[in-house]
Structure 1
Amino acid sequence: MQQISLYDPVEDRKTPQGYRCVPVGEAGSIDPASLPPLVITVTIEDLKRMPIHTPIAHAGPERGWLPVNMVNVLYTNADTQELETEILGTPVRIRATPVEFHWDLGDGNTIATTDPGKPFPSERISSEYRFEGWYDIILTTTFTGQFSVDGGEWQDIEGSIEIESDPVELFAKSLESRLVNGSEDEDEDSGYGGDDNDEDEEEPWIPERTPDTEGPIDPKARHRRI
C-alpha cells in the first residue's frame, strides 16, 4: 500500500488522502515499472484548506454613516488567486476564482450578483436604507476552483466554497428627523455638533452602537439578483 497525502505549505504538514495498492517484486521491493500511472486530483475539501485571501467588503462612505434613502455603493475585489502545494512530491497549482457575491444589508434586504461592483460614483451594485440605525453589511463570496499538476492543463474542482468577509458597520442617519429645536440639545437633536460659528460644516452627531440604536428590519425587504 502507498499513502497519498496533500501538502499544506502554510501549516507545513501533510494530510492523508488515502492509499493505493502497488505490486511487489520478487525480492519484496516495489517494481517501479509495474506501478500504474499515478493520478493526482484535488477535491473541494482540499480547496477549503487552502489559504485563500478573504475579499474585502466596501460599503458606504469611509466616514461610516450615510443619510437615510441615500445610495449605498457596494463593491469588493474580485481577483483570481493562485496557490501552490505539493502532492507526493509533485508540484500542484490551485486556482480559486470568485464567481458570485452575496450581500446581506442587515435590514432584511439582500443582493446576489456576479458583478464585484466599483467604487463611487459607480452605482452598479447599490442599495438604500429606509430607516435610521446601525447595520452590519456582510459579503459572502462563492469561489470555484481548478488545479494543475506539474505544469499540466487546468482541471476543474467539483463543487464550490463560500467565504464570508468581515462585516462593515454603517449607520443610516435620518437627517430630516433632527431639525433644530431651540429647546433641546443641539448636538443630539439637530443632528449636528460643534460651534455654529465654525466655517466648515460639522459631521452629524452619530450615536454609539447599543441595542437601542440598532436599525430595524425593513418590512418591504426583498432579495435582488443583479
Structure 2
Amino acid sequence: MRTIWQRPEGGVRYECGAPGAGQWSCTVPKNSCEAAYVPPLHGQGEDGLLINQPSQRGTADPNKITQRGTRITLADGTRTDLGHRCITLGSPGTAAIPGAPPVVITVTREDFATLPVKPLEATAGPPGGWLPVNMVNVLHTNPAEQTLATTLLGTPVQIRAIPIEYHWDLGDGNTITTTKPGKPFPSEEVTSTYRYEGWYDITLTTTFAGQFSVDGGPWQDIDGTITITSDPVALYSASLTSRLTNPHKPTTPTNDKHTPEIPARTPENEGPTDPNATHRTI
C-alpha cells in the first residue's frame, strides 16, 4: 500500500448537508487549513437566505496548504479517500517537485504491516533440543533492526523495523512479556522452567516500532506498531531419575547416563498444561 497527500484539484470546497427540513448547512473540511478562517454557511428555503452567518475568523496562512489523501492498495489498485489535512510548507517528507503541487509521502501503520519484516529467530533451552524438568530454560533472540527500501512516486523511501517488546509463549500455559531480548547461557536474563515431562512448542512474538525516511531525510515515527511471530521451537522436557549401580562391577559408560532417550513426538507424549501457569512481565 502507499499513501499520497496532494493539493485537492479545484481547491477546497464547501461540504453541504441538510440538518433539518427546509434548512441547509455548508462547511469546509474540518481538517483543512481553510477551516481556521472560512466560516460555515447556514441557510433555509430554496431562496438561499443566509441566517446565523458568523463573522470572519481570521486570514489565510501563506505558509500552510491543504492536502487531500489517497491510500492505494498496490495489489488491486483499490483507492481509499483519507480526507483533508493542513500542513506547513517545508515540513519533513514534503517532496519538492517543480511546477507541481507539493506531495507528502507518509507511511502508515497499515502500510508498515504489509512490508516483509522478517520474524526474529527464537532460541530456547540448551543445545540438543531437550532439558530436564525444573531446569532453567534460557530464552533469547537477536534484536537486530531491519531496514527496507522502496520507491514511492519516484522518491526513495526507507523503512526500518525496530524490535521493542518480546512475548514468549512456553506452550504449557506460561507466558512472558519483556522488553529484554535475553542473552545466551550462562545469562539468566529471560528464563522459564517446565514442571512436567513432554514435548512443548515455544513461540516468540515480537512487537516492532517503525520509522521511515523520505529521500534521505530525517527519520519519522510511524504511528502504531506491528507484531511478527517466529517459527516455534520444539523442546522436550525430560524427567531424570537416579539409579543404583555396583561400584565393584566394571561398566562401560553410556550416553544415557547423562542424556535420556528422547522419544519421537506423538500425541501421547505432548507435555501437559501447567495448572499453576502464570503470565510474567520482566
- TM-score norm. by structure 1 comes to 0.78
In the other structure, the counterpart of 1:115 is 180
CA distance in 2, matches of 1:97, 1:68: 35
| Cα displacement (A) at 1:92 | 0.3
| Cα displacement (A) at 1:80 | 1.0
Give the secondary structure class of the aligned counterpart of 1:98.
strand
| Cα displacement (A) at 1:62 | 1.8
Residues 38-77 of structure 1 mapped to structure 2, 5 A cutoff: 38-77=103-142
Residues 118 and 228 of structure 2 are in contact (CA less than 8 Å); yes or no, is this contact kept in structure 1? no
Give the secondary structure class of the aligned counterpart of 1:224.
strand
Residues 68 and 131 of structure 1 are in contact (CA less than 8 Å); yes or no, is this contact kept in structure 2? yes
User: Is the alpha carbon distance of 1:5 and 1:180 closer, same or farther for their aligned partners in structure 2, counting shifts above 3 Å?
Assistant: farther
Residues 211 and 222 of structure 2 are in contact (CA less than 8 Å); yes or no, is this contact kept in structure 1? yes
User: Is the alpha carbon distance of 1:221 and 1:118 closer, same or farther for their aligned partners in structure 2, counting shifts above 3 Å?
Assistant: same
CA deviations 1:144-176 (Å, max 9, x no partner) are 101011111111111111100000000000102
CA distance in 2, matches of 1:89, 1:5: 16
Q: How many residues align?
A: 196
| Cα displacement (A) at 1:202 | 5.5
The structure 1 segments of at least 4 consecutive aligned residues displaced by more than 4 Å after TM superposition are 3-8, 13-20, 178-181, 199-202
Q: Does 1:101 align with 2:166?
A: yes
CA distance in 2, matches of 1:66, 1:39: 54
Q: Which amino acid aligns with 2:264?
A: E
Give the secondary structure class of the aligned counterpart of 2:104.
coil
In the other structure, the counterpart of 1:197 is 252
**RMSD across aligned positions (CA):** 2.8
CA distance in 2, matches of 1:96, 1:161: 9
In the other structure, the counterpart of 2:154 is 89
In the other structure, the counterpart of 1:144 is 209
Give the secondary structure class of the aligned counterpart of 2:106.
coil
Quick one: which of 209, 214, 219 aligns to 2:275?
219
The structure with the larger Rg is: 2
CA distance in 2, matches of 1:115, 1:66: 23
Residues 44 and 160 of structure 1 are in contact (CA less than 8 Å); yes or no, is this contact kept in structure 2? yes
CA distance in 1, matches of 2:239, 2:147: 44
Q: Which amino acid aligns with 2:259?
A: E
In the other structure, the counterpart of 1:28 is none
CA deviations 1:73-105 (Å, max 9, x no partner) are 000010111110010000001011011000000
Residues 108 and 223 of structure 2 are in contact (CA less than 8 Å); yes or no, is this contact kept in structure 1? yes
Residues 102 and 140 of structure 1 are in contact (CA less than 8 Å); yes or no, is this contact kept in structure 2? yes
Give the secondary structure class of the aligned counterpart of 2:103.
coil
Residues 180-191 of structure 1 mapped to structure 2, 5 A cutoff: none
- TM-score norm. by structure 2 comes to 0.63
In the other structure, the counterpart of 2:196 is 131
CA distance in 2, matches of 1:203, 1:7: 54
Give the secondary structure class of the aligned counterpart of 1:45.
helix
**Gap runs ≥5 in structure 2:** 1-8, 10-68, 83-97, 246-250
| Cα displacement (A) at 1:36 | 2.7
